[in-house]
Amino acid sequence: MVETSAEFVAHSSIRTDHSSPGRFIWSHIRRHPWVGLGMILGAFSNAALASVLPYLIGEAFNAIVDSKDMQRVGYLSLVIVVSQLIRGGLQLMRNFSSETFAQRVERDVRDELYASLLGKSMAYHDLQPVGEIMARVANDVREMNFFMSPGLNMVVGSGMFLLMPLIASPMIHPALILTPALFIPIYAFVQYRYVKSLHRVAQDVRARFGRMNARLAETLDGIEVVKGTAQEEQESARLSKLIDDVRDRFIDQGKIEARYFAILLFGIAVVGAFLHAAILYRANAIDIGDAIAFMGLISLFDFPVFTSSFSLARLASGLASAERILNVITAKTDLDQNEEGLRPGMKGSLTFEQVNFSFMPGSLVLHDISFSIEPGQTVAIVGQTGSGKSALTKLINRTYDVDAGRVLVDGIDVRDWYLAALRSQISIIEQEIFLFSRTIADNIRFGCPGANQQAVEEAAKKAQAHEFIMSFPEGYETVIGQRGVTLSGGQRQRLAIARAFLTDPRILILDDSTSAIDSATEDRIQKAIWAAARGRTTILITHRLSQIRWADHIIVMRKGRIVAQGRHEDLIQQSNAYRRIFARYEGVDEKTVDSADESAPPVPGEAI
């Protein structure tokens, strides 16, 4: 099994082989041996009892032609009815086992893929279209089900139907093995070429479907922008082209299936078998009943020939889907869970030592960042848009890892922490709030699933959210829309703050978290943040002077570098960049800033 690094590792009994799509599927199949055995026994008994039928019919013909023994014909008819009833019962067992097999494999593959996606780093997810991932989780995993049933189920059954004429024909006359012995290897070669051709086009079908799904998901996610710019027709045209591509690939697959040579091969086998049986009959080597029984056995080839065009297409699609699923599962990510890492209780000190970081290789976002924060301190990080403020905070909980340098929490490199222990003690309230399509209470307790209702309400009150929550008819049990679209920006941010309060983190990071809140509400939330920040390390990314002045320490960033740091009173006198921030965001008179720029002493190394 190929080992891959992961932020999160699911604790599961599922252990599968990731070295190839075939081995991946086989490792899932062998996890259910009894169900698989039931399917194989059912397929064997079905073929065996099907081969009994032509033999009994041949015996009935001999009884009529030779002795007109109608009593024996009646007895043989009864045996035929009983044998086929038994065959029907065993066939039911086979189909039930096959469907059970398929559903279990689909469940296990989906669980494994979902756990793998949860374990991927943000760097991985940043580069993957959501629609493409959803196509693999939903459609490709479903193809694994079809691979098992009807795909593998029919292939196993077909294999049994191929073997029976080979086994039973020599019992009629040794020479009659000729037709089955020639047909089976030629048929196997033809099917191998067929599957090989189908696999290539099936891969293309799955890839085109993924691209179509990605475009659809992206358009629906940005539907407000599409409608706001009147681009419905253009987006519809783009998606129609992708739909046409998927259609064309399915047509290509249909063309290969239409050239299914095995049907012609079966016709040739029937003619050859009939001629061979006729020659032996004229030579008095076999009687009429034997000839009829032999042709009945040859007719068993009909089932594998006519079902394989469908079942093998399911196998080809399943293999292509397994390959796409494996590409996700085996993709290397930048981070690992570090289960052997340290798990101490966090005090909250934070140190950056000459940190460099880039989202993409060769394009640094942060340059030589160094600073220290003592436990319980409140630090404000300020700077113009794109200066690297948010990127800096994402290194603290290892959403991303540094390219160079170190980030230390309580003197321990964050890469030496057990990742879950590190993140469980750090709470980040993002600028872009994400809420789930669940109840308000479930959204607040998301980071602390065991919290009771009283704790949820206390957190909401601290975040100044309780009042608006209770204004809804169902209160805390109100189900909000995806991403919280049924709430205002301020309401979403207050719920996010409540969620952070409930987890009681040792390090609290607020990334411009009051940007969508009016002044009156901000005053109330500000008091709650002051209370929540007491005794814990708090990092504020903000442009609001009221919050910045409250900080114990201020870090000024410009173009990914720290250009100044200190207290507000010192920076307003010494830092040109700091004063310009307030000229832009707080409406400070530009003349005052320019005057201050002229009188203030230059700061060494500061970029203007």
pLDDT digits (tens, 9 = 90+) for 359-396: 887 788 999 999 999 998 999 998 888 888 988 998 99
Average of per-residue pLDDT across 122-135: 78
User: According to the model, what pLDDT value does residue 14 have?
Assistant: 66
Q: Which tops the pLDDT comparison, 593 or 261?
A: 261
Q: Tell me, what CATH number does 213's domain have?
A: 1.20.1560.10
Q: Which tops the pLDDT comparison, 158 or 385?
A: 158
Asked whether residue 484 is assigned to any structural domain, the reply reads no
The Cα angle at residue 505 between residues 499 and 511, in degrees rounded to 5? 65
284: exposed, middle or buried (Cβ count in 10 Å: 0-12, 13-18, 19+): exposed
Asked whether residue 458 is assigned to any structural domain, the reply reads no
- Coil vs helix vs strand at 511: strand
> What values do phi and psi take at 419, rounded to 5?
-60, -40
User: According to the model, what pLDDT value does residue 62 have?
Assistant: 81
Asked whether residue 138 is assigned to any structural domain, the reply reads yes
Instruction: For residues 206 and 225, give the distance between their C-alpha atoms in angstroms, rounded to a whole number.
Output: 29
| Range ranked top by mean pLDDT from 64-68, 120-124, 422-426, 589-593 | 422-426
User: According to the model, what pLDDT value does residue 495 have?
Assistant: 87
Contact 379, 510 (CB under 8 A): no
Looking at residue 109, its amino acid is V
Residue 273 banded pLDDT, cuts 50, 70, 90? very high
296: exposed, middle or buried (Cβ count in 10 Å: 0-12, 13-18, 19+): buried
The Cα angle at residue 329 between residues 324 and 334, in degrees rounded to 5? 125
Return the closest-CA partner of residue 329 out of 13, 30, 9. 9
For 14, 110, 419, 587, the CA distances from 9, given in Å and listed in that order, are 12, 15, 11, 49
Asked whether residue 4 is assigned to any structural domain, the reply reads no
Contact 579, 593 (CB under 8 A): yes
Indicate if the alpha-carbon torsion angle 232, 234, 237, 238 is positive or negative: negative
Contact 495, 463 (CB under 8 A): yes
pTM of the model: 0.70
User: According to the model, what pLDDT value does residue 599 have?
Assistant: 36
Q: Is pLDDT above 80 for 114?
A: yes
DSSP conformation letters of 378-426: EEEEEESTTSSHHHHHTTTTTSS--SEEEEEETTEEGGGB-HHHHHTTE
Question: Can you give the residue range of the structural domain that contains 190?
Answer: 21-329
Q: What DSSP element (H or E) covers 233? A: helix 232-258
User: According to the model, what pLDDT value does residue 176 have?
Assistant: 93
Instruction: For residues 492 and 504, give the distance between their C-alpha atoms in angstroms, rounded to a whole number.
Output: 19
Asked whether residue 355 is assigned to any structural domain, the reply reads no
User: According to the model, what pLDDT value does residue 515 have?
Assistant: 59
Q: Which tops the pLDDT comparison, 134 or 456?
A: 456
**What DSSP state is assigned to residue 478?**
P
User: According to the model, what pLDDT value does residue 560 have?
Assistant: 92
Q: Is pLDDT above 60 for 600?
A: no
Asked whether residue 132 is assigned to any structural domain, the reply reads yes
Question: Angle 302-329/262-282 helices, nearest 10 degrees?
Answer: 150
Number of domains in the chain: 1
**What DSSP state is assigned to residue 177?**
G
Phi-psi region of 68 (alpha: psi -120 to 50; beta: other; left: phi over 0): left
Instruction: For residues 38 and 40, give the distance between their C-alpha atoms in angstroms, rounded to a whole number.
Output: 6
Instruction: For residues 160 and 540, give the distance between their C-alpha atoms in angstroms, rounded to a whole number.
Output: 70
Residue 570 banded pLDDT, cuts 50, 70, 90? confident
Among 48-57, 247-256, 355-364, 595-604, the least confident range = 595-604
Digit-coded pLDDT (tens) for 496-537: 888 888 888 889 888 876 655 666 666 666 766 676 677 789
Contact 563, 606 (CB under 8 A): yes
Contact 388, 437 (CB under 8 A): no
Asked if the bond preceding 185 is cis, omega within 30° of 0, the reply is no
- The string over 362-393, giving b where at least 16 C-beta atoms fall within 10 Å of a residue's C-beta and e elsewhere, is eebbbbebebebeebbbbbbbbbeebbbbbbb
Q: Is pLDDT above 60 for 598?
A: no
Q: Is pLDDT above 70 for 551?
A: yes
**What DSSP state is assigned to residue 464?**
T
Asked whether residue 291 is assigned to any structural domain, the reply reads yes
Instruction: For residues 518 and 468, give the distance between their C-alpha atoms in angstroms, rounded to a whole number.
Output: 14
If you average pLDDT over every residue of the chain, what do you get?
Answer: 83
Among 189-203, 370-384, 453-467, the least confident range = 189-203
For 48, 105, 461, 479, 549, the CA distances from 472, given in Å and listed in that order, are 67, 43, 15, 10, 36
Q: Is pLDDT above 90 for 494?
A: no
Instruction: For residues 258 and 412, give the distance between their C-alpha atoms in angstroms, rounded to a whole number.
Output: 65
Instruction: For residues 481 and 478, give the distance between their C-alpha atoms in angstroms, rounded to a whole number.
Output: 10
User: According to the model, what pLDDT value does residue 333 have?
Assistant: 72
- The string over 131-159, giving b where at least 16 C-beta atoms fall within 10 Å of a residue's C-beta and e elsewhere, is bbbbbbbeebbebbbbbbbbbbbbbbbbb
**What DSSP state is assigned to residue 562?**
E
- Tell me the residue length of the chain: 608
User: According to the model, what pLDDT value does residue 457 have?
Assistant: 93
Asked whether residue 586 is assigned to any structural domain, the reply reads no
